[in-house]
C-alpha cells in the first residue's frame, strides 16, 4: 500500500517507521511545509520520497494527516476535495469537535476517519520520530458512524498492525476527557517550569539539584508551542474547566500549609495515591 503522510514530525514520522517495518506500507510519501524536515525524513529513511501535497494525494491509497490542529481545519477539506472514491483520509489530532463540525457537510466526509493515537513524547520534528512509540497504546476513533465502513476498516487494520488497541468516543467526550488527562498535564508542566525559572535564577543549581521527580514533572514543558497553543485554543472551555479544579486543589494545599494542618495534608496525599490503582 502507498501511504502519504502529511506532517513528518514526531507522530507522522513514528507512524512511518512502524508502518514500514511491519509491512503495512510498501511506499511512504512525505509531505511537509518544511523542506528541511523532508530532507531529514528521507535521510533517516522515514519516507521513501517527498512530494507536493496534490501529487502525494494522487498517488496514495491512504492519506495520514499529522499536522497542528489549527492547520488541519483548513488542509483536510482541501484534501477531501481531491480524493477519489477508493481513497481514505485519516487524521491523528488531539482535538475533535471543531474539526469534525466543519467537515460534517463535506461531500466526501465518508472517506474520512478521525483518530487520536494516545502516545507521544515532549520532542518534535522528524528527528524525534522513534520506533515502537505506539505499541500496545490506545487510539481513539471518533464519529465513525459518519465514515464509510470500508474506510473505518482500513484505519482499524492500520492501527492494529502496529499493534494498537482501539477505543471509540464521540467528539465532545473525546475533547472533555483529553482535557482532563492530557491537556491539563501539559499546561501544569508549562506553569511549573515557569515557576521554577522565575524563582530559581541560578541555572547551575537547577541542573545540579533537579531530581528524577522534577525532571519527569517538567518533561512536558519541553513540548512545542506550535502544537500545543492550537490545542488549547480549540479545547479552551474544557481546559478552563479542569484548570479551575486544578487551581482549587493547589489552593487547598496552600491553605493547609498556612494552617500547618499536616494531618489533612497526609490524607490528601493518600487520596492522590489511589491514582496508581488506575494507571499501574
Give the DSSP letter of residue 276: H
Domain count, the chain: 2
In angstroms, the CA 234 to CA 228 distance is: 10
- pLDDT number for residue 229: 97
Same domain, residue pair 113 and 246: no
Residues spanned by the domain of 248: 174-279
77 & 123 share domain: yes
| Domain endpoint, select from 142, 169, 196 | 169
147-206: pLDDT as tens digits: 999 999 999 999 999 999 999 999 999 999 999 999 999 999 999 999 988 887 777 766
- Please check the confidence at residue 218 and state whether its pLDDT lies above 90: no
Residue 280 has pLDDT above 80, yes or no: no
What would the grid cell of residue 68 be? 497542528
CATH number of the domain bearing residue 56: 3.40.50.720
- The reply to whether the predicted model has a pTM over 0.75 is yes
Task: Give the DSSP H/E element, type plus range, for residue 43.
Answer: helix 35-43
Q: Which parts of 55-205 are beta strand (E)?
A: 62-65, 88-91, 112-117, 138-142, 165-169
What values do phi and psi take at 44, rounded to 5?
A: -80, -5
What is the pLDDT, as a whole number, of residue 72? 97
> Taking residues 83-100, what's their average pLDDT?
97
Q: What is the pLDDT of residue 203?
A: 74
Whether residue 112 sits in one domain with residue 185 = no
Q: In which region does residue 66 sit, left (phi positive, over 0), alpha (psi from -120 to 50) or beta (all else)?
A: beta
Domain boundary residue, one of 135, 169, 203 = 169
Of 154, 169, 184, the residue that ends a domain is 169
Amino acid at each position: 500500500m502507498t501511504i502519504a503522510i502529511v506532517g513528518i514530525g514526531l507522530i507522522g514520522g513514528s507512524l512511518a517507521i512502524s508502518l514500514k517495518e511491519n509491512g503495512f506500507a510498501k511506499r511512504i510519501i512525505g509531505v511537509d511545509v518544511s523542506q528541511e524536515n523532508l530532507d531529514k525524513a528521507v535521510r533517516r529513511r522515514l519516507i521513501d520520497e517527498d512530494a507536493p501535497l496534490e501529487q502525494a494525494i494522487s498517488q496514495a491509497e491512504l492519506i495520514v494527516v499529522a499536522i497542528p490542529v489549527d492547520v488541519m481545519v483548513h488542509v483536510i477539506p482541501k484534501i477531501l476535495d481531491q480524493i477519489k472514491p477508493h481513497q481514505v483520509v485519516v487524521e491523528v489530532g488531539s482535538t475533535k469537535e471543531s474539526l469534525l463540525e466543519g467537515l460534517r457537510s463535506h461531500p466526501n466526509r465518508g472517506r474520512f476517519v478521525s483518530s487520536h493515537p494516545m502516545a507521544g513524547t515532549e520532542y518534535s520534528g522528524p528527528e524525534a520520530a522513534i520506533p515502537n512509540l505506539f505499541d500496545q497504546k490506545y487510539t481513539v476513533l471518533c464519529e465513525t458512524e459518519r465514515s464509510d465502513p470500508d474506510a473505518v476498516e482500513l484505519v482499524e487494520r492500520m492501527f492494529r498492525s502496529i499493534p494498537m488497541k482501539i477505543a471509540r468516543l464521540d467528539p465532545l467526550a473525546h475533547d472533555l476527557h483529553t482535557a482532563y488527562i492530557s491537556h491539563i498535564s501539559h499546561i501544569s508542566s508549562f506553569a511549573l517550569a515557569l515557576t521554577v525559572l522565575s524563582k530559581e535564577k541560578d541555572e547551575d543549581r537547577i541542573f545540579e539539584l533537579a531530581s528524577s521527580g522534577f525532571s519527569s514533572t517538567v518533561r512536558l514543558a519541553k513540548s512545542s508551542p506550535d502544537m500545543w497553543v492550537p490545542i488549547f485554543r480549540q479545547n479552551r472551555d474544557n481546559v478552563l474547566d479542569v484548570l479551575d479544579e486544578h487551581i482549587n486543589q493547589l489552593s487547598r494545599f496552600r491553605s493547609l500549609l498556612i494552617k500547618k494542618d499536616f494531618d489533612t495534608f497526609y490524607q490528601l496525599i493518600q487520596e492522590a495515591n489511589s491514582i496508581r490503582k488506575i494507571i499501574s
